[in-house]
Amino acid sequence: AQSVAQPEDQVNVAEGNPLTVKCTYSVSGNPYLFWYVQYPNRGLQFLLKYITGDNLVKGSYGFEAEFNKSQTSFHLKKPSALVSDSALYFCAVRDGRNTPLVFGKGTRLSVIA
């Protein structure tokens, strides 16, 4: 069975500092990994994905994520946080065998000016 863990319910970071939102996963086959962002009372917006290839994936709004197979992690990062990055972030995984995405419970990011 597929599963995703986001170990932090809340991450606080000062504006201009680097940010990391953590995600670990469990799948039986090769993972397909995704990050989404949600602003209040809105749908989810796609940020980036890892399918194959380079372990460092670059996405929208300056975000990037590093796939680490040995640690089964896919942490979301940004070199310099903005107040406008404050939102709810979801990690998701599927094992590519015609199965739906499984989402983590989300991490609320708060960037303080």
Chain positions contacting other proteins, by CB under 8 A: 9, 32, 34, 36, 41-46, 49, 51, 90, 94-101, 103-106
Write out the two tokens for 73.
């992690």
Q: How far is CA 94 from CA 46, 79, 91, in A?
A: 15, 27, 11
Min. distance of Cβ 110 from other proteins in angstroms? 16
Least distance (Å) from other proteins to the CB of residue 44?
A: 4
Residue 42, both tokens: 């809105």
User: How many CB atoms sit inside 10 A of residue 107's CB?
Assistant: 20
Quick one: 45 or 80, whose CB is closer to other proteins?
45
d(CA 96, CA 112): 38
Nearer Cβ to other proteins, position 60 or 80? 60
Which CB atom, from 63 or from 90, has the smaller least distance to other proteins? 90
